[in-house]
Amino acid sequence: MTTRAYNIQAGSWDHGGASIRPEGINFVIFTRLAARLELLLFEHEDSPAPFQIIPLDPRVNRTFFFWHVLVEGLPAGTYYAWRADGPRDTEHTGARFDPEKALLDPWCTTVSDRLWDRARACAPGDNTASAMRSQVVADDYDWEGDTPLHIPLHDAVIYEMHVAGFTRHPSSATAHPGTFAAVIEKVPYLQSLGITHVELLPIMAFDRQDVPKPTAERGLENYWGYSTHSFYAPHPGYSVTRARARDELRDMVKALHRAGIGVILDVVFNHTAEGGADGPTISFKGLGNEIFYHLDPIDRRLYRDYTGCGNTVNCNHPMVTRYLVDCLQYWVKAMHVDGFRFDLASALARGEDGRPQYHAPMLWTTELSPVLAKAHLIAEAWDAVGLYQVGDFPGLRWAEWNGRYRDLIRAFVRGDRGLVAEVATRIAGSSDLYEPRGRLPINSVNFVTCHDGFTLYDLVSYEKKHNQANGQCNRDGHSHNLSWNCGVEGETEDPLVLALRRRQARNFIAILMLSQGVPMLLAGDEVLRTQKGNNNAYCQNNELSWLDWSLAETNRDMLELTRAMIALRRRHPALSRERFLTGEPAPGQELPDVRWHGSELNAPLWDDPDGRELAFTLAGLTADEPPLHVMLNMSESDVPFALPRLGGRRWHRLVDTARAPYVSPPEGAEPLDPDRYPMEHRSVVVLEGRPV
């Protein structure tokens, strides 16, 4: 047990958090209204009490609103926390200081939650023995020349995955399932898919205990991680050695980069794990509740909740904006990540009065930051109380999860009528949403499924959500899924139903990879992973959510189709154009960049209320790239589609989701002679025009 009492100096306020200096460790924290601060030093992450408590003198250890102290000779590896005292005038100022609560450093880069007890942090009284601790960690990592990849977004194919769920299933056969290290073992698989980026569900340190009481009583936990408490620190549960969490994450980033795969982080800046008035005091609530959160202007005891999670981060307060943008810059500079996806990003567009701002400082400072200039910025362009900004998110280069693409393609593939005109617009990159404001196809991130909702296989197997296992009486999760069960709800042994489900799944993957914009694939969809109809598996840290690697053999045909469709997309730059289609020939080209058809040439069913057939001919970007002809028949009937004639070229079949092999290798594509192609019902066909 450490008995030494370390000497202290005033320290300096130039760098937030704990920084290692030649003479010791310098600690800095921001709090505007605190009257008294204490720094608590712990020998181990599970020490029940601090070995030294250092009170700070505001006459010596405070500069403006920053409190600082340097502890002489303190070694790296030391664990620490803060305690802050000040006004508790929650009704008028919103301040919630509690001198009995041990607080995390908002700038800590390594955190331990081994002793964490959320209930103790919510209740009155001292929680020092059960609080999370920050750790001082030396930063001497060898990147071996690694840098962010800067893969252009128009070339991207994104794979959304959960770090732990990707390898936690016993079938993953990894040395340390559920960790950053285990992902490294699966890099060859990711590389074989052909994806260019992984988009990781939250890996910033989050509170696993943040779930409703009925859910917790079932032994469930916050699995997805949308409950961040430490924005600079990796989640310790994803590391083999908790004190090395930051370096183990770096090892994973470096391994992915070596394979040519970029890393996009799902960032939860809209709320924190501290919840509302009855939530725990972890960090921000005990240091600056009055500035960090949106509070009711009349009764500041109340939190404005635009996120459905109890609180909303006041992102456009100057200090909070600075803190969050610095955080993003840290992840690019120190952790080499390639971009960010922002959860419920419309909450970030709300000013301090709660109203939406087009010139929101948080969003524009992020967009215009030189450090973030090449980082991808992707918004989930809505929040939980109705602000929906798809096509109108502030900024220019922010990409958006295109919820309108998802909903329309789901409806079209299940067989809804009269959608052909808008389907063409979505497949062409959603120019109606983005072109009027000078934006580009890359502003549209196209997806059919994501972590939030049905998996692809469940989308074609269930018409209703089945979330009873979450403990909330099936009230949670979306009810508007635009899904179709192909005739039977859930599990079945009917071979006709099973065959139709697989064909529908192939249709979704094919259309996604044939659409202009940026395709995003949910991990496990390529092998038809199911969650048994649960469309909100946020609390299911078990085999319901984990990727069963045996499916790669069971559903190898689907895996091979997905790989082939990604390869086709990457082989044909015309499918990922940097500019919108015009219907006119590009300079030096004879064919128009796109020509639309129905089952008959040049006769698209724009105004047909029953239309469910669409075809288009896509010219190559250069004379060397062969044209493509794509046909979609989502009706219940087989329909012969007319084929355009191309002088000096002959059509070859690359894809037919109704006929095995569903995707032919380029060298094995079958040449076609007839003027019409017999399209089967509910199918997608892709032809390539090759010189005779």
Helix (H, G, I), strand (E, B) or coil at 400: strand
Compute the Cα dihedral for 60, 66, 72, 78 and give only its sign. Answer: positive
Q: What are phi and psi of 401, to 5 degrees?
A: -60, 115
The CA-based angle 101-105-110, given to 5 degrees, is 120
- 367 is written with which tokens? 């967009």
Indicate the pairing of strand 376-379 with strand 339-342. Answer: parallel
Owner of token pair 């500079």: 333
380 assigned to active site: yes
Instruction: Return d(Cα 105, Cα 283) in angstroms, integer.
Output: 7
Among the listed residues 305, 343, 593, 688, the single catalytic one is 343
Instruction: Return d(Cα 630, Cα 157) in angstroms, integer.
Output: 20
Instruction: Return d(Cα 206, Cα 203) in angstroms, integer.
Output: 8
Count of CB atoms situated within 10 Å of the CB of 94 = 23
Helix (H, G, I), strand (E, B) or coil at 442: helix
Alpha helices per DSSP H over 92-140: 118-122
3-state SS string for 170-232: HHHCCCCCCCHHHHHHCHHHHHHHCCCEEEECCCEEECCCCCCHHHHCCCCCCCCCCCEEEEE
Burial 365-380 (b: 16+ CB within 10 A, else e): bbeebeebeebbbbbb
Indicate the pairing of strand 262-267 with strand 197-200. Answer: parallel
CA distances in angstroms from 361 to 120, 245, 320, 365, listed in the order given: 36, 32, 10, 6
Instruction: Return d(Cα 482, Cα 414) in angstroms, integer.
Output: 8
Instruction: Return d(Cα 11, Cα 27) in angstroms, integer.
Output: 7
Count of CB atoms situated within 10 Å of the CB of 513 = 26
- Nearest alpha carbon to residue 93 among 387, 293, 318, 230: 293
One-letter identity of residue 241: T
Please tell me what DSSP assigns to residue 14.
S
One-letter identity of residue 53: I
| 596 half-sphere exposure, CB direction, 13 A CA radius | 17
3-state SS string for 646-681: CCCEEEEEEEECCCCCCECCHHHCEECCCCEEEECC
Please tell me what DSSP assigns to residue 313.
B
343 assigned to active site: yes
Contact call for residues 202 and 249 (beta carbons, < 8 A): no
Among the listed residues 274, 380, 383, 688, the single catalytic one is 380
One-letter identity of residue 236: P
Which residues carry out catalysis?
A: 343, 380
